[in-house]
A = this chain, B = another copy of it.
Amino acid sequence: MTEVDTDLMKKLVSLCKRLGFVYQSGEIYGGLQSSWDYGPLGVELKKNIENSWWDFTVRTRTNVVGMDSAIITHPDVWKASGHLSHFHDPMVDCLQCKSRFRQDHVEGDVCPECGGELTEPREFGLMLKTQMGALENDSATVYLRPETCQPIFVNFKNVVNALRLRLPFGIAQMGKAFRNEITARNFIFRSREFEQMEMEFFCLPEESGTWFTYWLEERMAWYTDRLGILRDNLRFREHDDSELAHYADGCTDIEYRFPFATDGWGELEGVANRTDFDLTAHMEQSGQDLSFQNQVENTKIVPYVIETSGGLGRTLLAVLLDAYREEEIEGRTRVVLGLHRDLAPIKAAILPLSKKLSENAAKVEELLRPHFPVRFDVTGSIGKRYRRMDEAGTPYCITYDFESLEDNSVTIRERDSLGQVRVPIDSLVNEMTKLLRDGWPAENPGT
């Protein structure tokens, strides 16, 4: 990690706490390691990303449906999937400085921190388990799901029957997953409790290559077009044979240029051809027939699966990093979170120029509030309040000044261009709706 990059992460973590995006969990008790709570702005940003994914993946498609399974899962699910026997990380410790590493993160057998000698690798289970049931003799060991995709396979038949689905179709779900990560770190990039956004797309085996390419392009389009992440900060990276999971016939990651990543890039999402591995495994473990009636040829087949599997926390981090910038304006540094207007937690701030105008400006807030999330702010100079909203990623500030009392109009100021436009309060809802849908028009130049 270069010095500049460490700096960026520090600034971002500090901004996240100061503005109410992300806090360390249990901070007043010294904090729970690599566990994070989302504050008032963070939860709105998170919801906006979730809704964007659900809308893009499920609601606007004829052939993808959603589901939402329990976190605590029947143990046989993880027998079938191979997690109970295979989901371990090999770990090595440095005999000298006592640092601990995942073996596959270390090249050679020498500590990357101090050059000391490393222990032989030891295996550590990555699933979190708990006991459910009231009494010792009827309590059962159950697992917190380490991924959201397996319950999709387990419910495959129920979903197909309920909706009488025909190939190809997808089943999507998002939600919490838990892994006892050894190297949980880098803020919300890797934590033991995290949120996945996954979709399993079932298709004929011979069409799986085509769908793999289709979904790879679709997923990239989501990051760039819906979340507004710069294409140059994203790349595809194909897995080579050595890192390909045993069940996969091909896997390509979508990576973001994270400042802490050793080679400059870190995974946001994996798109994989999981073949018929999972359905076959659950058929064998459960003894149930999960094959699909191919109505055209009247044969039974086990479909292939193209999986898209993204992480919500790391996507949110990429969105924040990509949006963060510092600018020199009139000799002062302005920090801006240039969030896409669809993602911004606050769509507009209503700022009375003076406290004397508060009552009238509050009426403008009341007018807008039923339509989109707005914030009223009267504390501090107008310049300070603009900067606060720039840091929070708020795309529009609406200033109520003394002239507003005369002309019943307000000034809309855009965050990035600093362009301004005067708008009658009567048409403010319409104007804001248009600005939030289409963005700031090029013909309104900055000041």
Contact = CB atoms under 8 A, between A and B. Distances in A.
A114 interface: no
Interface string A27-52: 11111110111111111101100000
B72 A29 contact: no
A178 B133 CA distance: 12
Interface in A154-191: 154-155, 157-159, 162-164, 171, 173, 176, 178, 180-182
A286 B28 contact: yes
Copy count, this protein chain: 2
A135 interface: yes
B70 A35 contact: yes
Given A180-B132, A192-B132, A32 B142 contact: yes
Interface string A66-108: 1111111110110000000000010100000000100000000
Interface string A121-136: 0001000111111110
A237 interface: no
Contacts of A35: 70, 72, 74
Interface residues on A, range: 35 or more
A19 interface: yes
A128 B130 CA distance: 7
Contact of A379 (B17, B89, B164, B370): B164
Given A19-B162, A163-B20, A182-B134, A72 B39 contact: no
B131 A128 contact: yes
Contact of A128 (B46, B132, B176): B132
A65 interface: yes
A369 interface: yes
Contact of A71 (B30, B159, B164, B176): B176
Contact of A73 (B23, B25, B130, B376): B25
B29 A74 contact: yes
B124 A26 contact: no
A36 B130 CA distance: 18
A25 B74 contact: yes
A328 to B, nearest CB: 26
Nearest to A160: B20
Contacts of A72: 32, 35, 178, 192-193
A365 interface: yes
A66 B37 contact: no
Max chain B Cβ within 10 angstroms of own Cβ: one of A129, A285, A286? A286
A38 B62 contact: no
A427 interface: no
Contacts of A178: 72
Nearest to A142: B32
Nearest to A36: B70
A146 interface: no
A70 B28 contact: no
B163 A40 contact: yes
Interface of A: 17-20, 23, 25-33, 35-44, 46-47, 54, 59-60, 62, 65-74, 76-77, 89, 91, 100, 124, 128-135, 142, 144, 151, 154-155, 157-159, 162-164, 171, 173, 176, 178, 180-182, 192-193, 282, 285-286, 288, 290, 365, 369-370, 373, 376, 379
21 contacts: A19-B162, A23-B155, A27-B155, A29-B76, A29-B154, A32-B73, A32-B74, A32-B142, A33-B133, A36-B70, A37-B67, A38-B68, A44-B66, A60-B370, A62-B365, A70-B193, A128-B130, A128-B131, A129-B131, A130-B130, A132-B180
Given A32-B70, A32-B74, 19 more contacts: A18-B162, A19-B162, A20-B65, A20-B158, A20-B159, A23-B155, A25-B73, A26-B73, A30-B74, A32-B73, A35-B70, A35-B74, A36-B70, A37-B69, A46-B68, A62-B365, A100-B134, A132-B192, A176-B176
